[in-house]
Amino acid sequence: MITGRNIICIASNWGDHPTSKHHVMRCLAERNHVLWVNFHASRRPRLTGRDARLTLRRLRQVWAGPRQAAPHIDVLSPLVLPLPASPVARFINARVLARQIRRTLRRLPCRPVQLWLFAPDVPELIERLRAERVVYYCVDDFAAFSGYNTPLVEELERRTMRASDVVITTSATLYKTRRAQHPCVHLVPHGVDFDHFAAAADLPADAVPADLRTIPRPIFGYMGVISDYVDLDLLARAARARPEWSFALLGDVRCDTRALSGLGNVHLLGGRPYEQLPAYCRGFDVGLIPFRLNRLTVAVNPIKLREYLAAGLPVVSAPLDEVQRYAPTVRSARTLDEFLPACAAALRSASESDRRTRQELVRDEGWRSRVELLSDIVEHIRPTPEEEPALEPAVGQMPVARPHGARPAVIPCVSNLGGR
């Protein structure tokens, strides 16, 4: 495990629902100090109520200054210009951000510094922070997100990769596409907070939250952001075809949900704290991943898949490559004619032995084991073999990276971090 470093993490908001970056950084913070930087300049805000609320929230975070969010994790919310298409704005952002990072790091013990990037569009910042290691952690095809400038993000990501020592990818699709652009690319699939979600199977029935207990069974549940990549049209058709089934969607709504209007057996419950998710899983009969198939989703490795399985739930998902590795335990469906039978079959796999089988699939895929693998990759950079990595099982014989380009020498002390 990486030990005794100050790790700068450039990512989305710390206060968002926990994702891979939160889990990875919490593990690393046990032996290092993490400076999490809330970066919010990847897209230009729109004239919507949601973006106005997000802007106000971010300004409050900037005003509050650096804060301790967890043991050995400090959060910095810099004031940046959300104008990604402007080279001037990106230049200013990089200078301001680097200055604030250096100022915050000077308060920490003098240690080697690593830079971990979960954002694809910050090459200017890399140039100003001389770090022992630069890790680009690619969890999505960011250029495919709605509201992003696709050609611009693609170009900035290429520059970010060129300036990185190693690229970590979380799906086979991301691995194959990024490997063509960088010689040191690794496939490390997402992990799961196994104990947290496995507790769902042993909760009593009365532990199910009240808003879910009032919904008629069976309940087909979804956990996650409700955005334009969720196939609400498919869910609406399924709800009409099976009025005796209930569909419960748990998460923040970030798209038009009119397709679900007037459907009494579809319930939008809103977002819930991470701590409550096992109790909601206890009330689900089946976990759903009803994604549309497009450039964005074919590259994802949904964390919720392993969370459902850890909770012992049967799963019906869009036919994503990373999901189909768990077939036939996990059922795939794209059309309504495939979806309805898959959901019915999932309902029939409710025995105790079925539940235990599903949990065993992911028992050894915890976040700690993933971070140990990541640490080995980052600490011991070695030549990458030419052959493709083994993808079955999900983590096994992974290639390990070699140095990329002429990286600066190791900077052993924070006070030596200088802008360029």
Residue-wise pLDDT for 354-379, tens only, equals 999 999 999 999 999 999 999 999 99
Which range has the worst mean pLDDT, 1-15, 388-402, 405-419? Answer: 405-419
Q: Per residue in 94-150, pLDDT tens?
A: 898 899 999 999 988 899 999 999 999 899 999 899 899 999 999 999 999 888 889
- Please state the pTM of the whole predicted model: 0.87
Q: Which amino acid is at 332?
A: S
In terms of phi and psi (left: phi > 0; alpha: psi -120 to 50; beta: otherwise), the region of 251 is left
Q: What is the pLDDT of residue 60?
A: 66
Higher pLDDT, 417 or 322: 322
- pLDDT of residue 160 exceeding 90: yes
pLDDT at 392: 42
- Given a cut of 80, whether residue 403 has pLDDT beyond it is no
pLDDT at 279: 97
Task: Specify the pLDDT at position 78.
Answer: 83
**At 336, phi and psi to the nearest 5?**
-60, -40
3-class DSSP state for residue 382?
coil
Across 13-27, 214-228, 239-253, least confident range: 13-27
Work out the number of other CB atoms within 10 angstroms of the CB of residue 406: 5
Residue 39, pLDDT score? 83
What is the reported pLDDT for 401? 37
What percent of the chain is modeled with pLDDT above 70? 84
How crowded is the C-beta side of 322, counted as CA atoms within 13 Å? 29
In this predicted model, what pLDDT tens digit does every residue of 28-62 receive, in sequence order?
A: 999 999 999 998 645 555 666 665 666 566 556 65
Q: What is the pLDDT of residue 417?
A: 37
Q: What is the pLDDT of residue 387?
A: 52
Q: Quick one: pLDDT at residue 46?
A: 66
* pLDDT of res. 400: 36
CA angle centred on 327, ends 324 and 333, rounded to 5°? 65
pLDDT at 158: 96
The pLDDT assigned to 167 comes to: 96
Ordered by where they begin, the domains of the chain are: 6-191+367-403 (3.40.50.2000), 194-362 (3.40.50.2000)
Give pLDDT tens digits for 262-275: 999 999 999 999 99
CA 190-298-252 angle, to 5 degrees, is 70
Query: Is the model's pLDDT at 388 over the cut of 70?
Result: no
Tokens standing for 298? 């074919």
Query: Hey, how many other C-beta atoms are within 10 angstroms of the C-beta on 20?
Result: 21
Average pLDDT for 158-187:
95
Mean pLDDT of the chain: 87
pLDDT tier at 386, thresholds 50, 70, 90: low
Q: What's 8-76 look like in SS3? A: EEEECCCCCCCCHHHHHHHHHCCCCEEEEEECCCCCCCCCCHHHHHHHHHHHHHHHHCCEEEECCEEEE
Length in residues, the chain: 420
pLDDT of residue 87: 86
Give me the residue label for tokens 């490997």: 179
Partners of 253 in the β-ladder: 226
Packed helices 336-347 and 232-241: angle between N→C axes, nearest 10 degrees: 60
Estimate the crossing angle of helix 352-362 against helix 303-310, to 10 degrees: 140
d(CA 195, CA 177): 33
Predicted confidence (pLDDT) per residue in 198-220, tens digit: 999 999 999 999 999 999 999 99
